[in-house]
A and B are shown apart, each in its own frame.
Chain A
Amino acid sequence: MASERKSIFSRGVGVLTVKNGIILVLLLAAFGIVQILRWLGWIYGPIDDALAWICIYVVLAVSLNLITGFTGQFSLGHAGFMAIGAYTAAIIVGRYQTFPSVLVGLAAGGILAMIVGILIGVPTLRLKGDYLAIATLGMAEIIRVIAMNLTITGGASGLFSNGHMVTWPMLFLVMVITVVVISNFIRSARGRACIAIREDEIAAESMGINSTKYKVMAFAIGAFFGGVGGALYSSYFYVTKPVTFSFMMSVNILVIVVFGGLGSISGSVISAVVISAITQYLISANALNVFGLFSIEFSRVNQIIYALLLVAIMLFRPKGLMGTMEIGDLFKRIGRRKERVQ
């Protein structure tokens, strides 16, 4: 039978497949290139920050995509989980200032965010679509207000640490682990249950799937990595302030996810890279001179551009860059087209 023929990518045993091999090589290449550029001295302040933002946004976007893109549960409160992770790590790391404390901070930040995620998820995940969105938004706002008023979180001025406690290799590693773990989950039986719930909750229940359980599961995992993303943020940047974790941060993360494609991990990754690179460029470049005729001051217009892009993307490509497809599917599609031509 023709359909029995395996594609070259899925050959191999267990984890040791050709596809995973290719992915590993690409990852090492990406990491290596950055390292080489660093030795060459081409990577300095702003670019370093941009790289950090890319890793942090990948972690945040992929984890939100699990909740919103794959499980279909619309969350507008990812900044809340990020805040929990950020403050937890900042408090722990600020006290001990050692590398192991960073690891503890990352784990504790993730776990605490997950616990809050479960507490908020169990009652609210019964609600449909928009209600959940608004409940998660409310949760994030509550977290922010609390952070603004507690002494341990430093109030409105926030917490400061002295220096980058995580560096590029660590950021990269945590990002890769996040992506791998979440894509593993999605391709497992549990992940399929989540996707089934997104497709048709009643039908999924009729197939014996406890939709509440899987929704909470996806929400908890997403919250965990949201917290990890926050912990990365506070350990890399010196300052942890409530204003960072406002509604706008939740929107930023959601926009990355939607722009990449709800239900596409590679879409989220690509989108996080593109959007954080552009944003960082707009922040660092002060003005763009258009053919020497006039110059645009970015600091004054970048929010307007952002808003216009948002509306334009939704109007012209509401499914995002990738839709629900992954990079791998694209290759398969090209392969199939070639087959047909032959």
Chain B
Amino acid sequence: MAETLLTLENATIVFGGLTAVFRVNMHVDPGELVGLIGPNGAGKTTIFNLITGVYKLTEGSIELHDAEKDRTISLVGRKPYAVTRLGIARTFQNIRLFKEMTVLDNVRIALNGEVRSTLLASLTHLGRYHREERRLVEEAQRLLDVFDLGAKKDELARNLPYGEQRRLEIARAMATRPKLLLLDEPAAGMNPIETSALADTIARIRRDFDLTVLLIEHDMSLVMKICERIYVLDHGALIAEGTPAEVQSNERVIEAYLGDDDDI
């Protein structure tokens, strides 16, 4: 399976006595846009937390394939920052920007992995400190421009309107130079116009950054429109997988969604 970028095998996590995710098998191939859907509490965000190392697997394996070096890396037991450095970035369901920092700094922080100057340079501002800082600012500015946030770079993140906060979160994630981007309900709280703009943005960054995307979303029109393949999760277990058309006509999926009053 050399083509696969991310593979989850029998991924299981138990909190106390509650099995939140049970034997999930998933794979995401390079360049794909895969959707992960399911009723509230199905365990979608938990899967993101497992992939990114926020939670530890109780059982199973999660592996990332590095095509350049042709090697497979296990993500189990890695801390979130280490997973990010391997090329997996994420956004959060309930936006977690650094609210008291500027838009520019939010992105600059995500560029920290590229800092090469020494601690001594940080303490004295001598050596290549200034050159490097300038480069970081330019780089952050470039990314902000891609997401139409360039003009707002000096504003505090908390002062941005909701839609722009979501965009900034994606820009920030992109600054870690990911191969795989995990988006957790990026359209939540957006109106149809904003959602459609978001769809365009996702399409654009996939193309421009050669990106693979795994997307959790409740907005079915968005999921059906942009995803190439969809996994459906219910009560912590996968109940269906396939193209949007296949998933839409799957009986168990319909049942899962009809059985859940919250989502209709």
Interface, chain A (partner B; CB < 8 A): 1, 3, 14-15, 181, 184-185, 187-193, 195-196, 199-200, 202-211, 217, 221, 324
Contact = CB atoms under 8 A, between A and B. Distances in A.
A342 B158 CA distance: 27
- Which 7 A-B pairs give the minimum distances between C-beta atoms? A188-B122, A205-B80, A208-B84, A203-B96, A199-B98, A207-B110, A189-B115
Nearest to A213: B81
A307 to B, nearest CB: 30
B99 A209 contact: no
Interface of B: 52, 54, 79-82, 84-85, 89-90, 92, 96-101, 105, 108-113, 115, 117, 119, 121-126, 129-130, 132-133, 136, 151, 153-154, 172-173, 175-176
B79 A205 contact: yes
B92 A203 contact: yes
B176 A207 contact: yes
Contact of A196 (B84, B98, B125): B98
6 contacts: A1-B151, A195-B101, A206-B96, A207-B109, A207-B173, A324-B100
Contact of A3 (B52, B122, B151): B151
Contacts of A206: 52, 80-81, 84, 89-90, 92, 96, 173
A14 B98 CA distance: 27
Contacts of B121: 188
Nearest to B114: A189
Contacts of A208: 81, 84-85, 110, 112-113, 176
Nearest to B48: A206
Contacts of B129: 188
A196 B84 CA distance: 16
Contact of B97 (A192, A203, A221): A203
Nearest to B131: A14
A59 to B, nearest CB: 15
Contacts of A193: 109, 112
A191 B136 CA distance: 14
Contacts of A202: 54, 80, 96
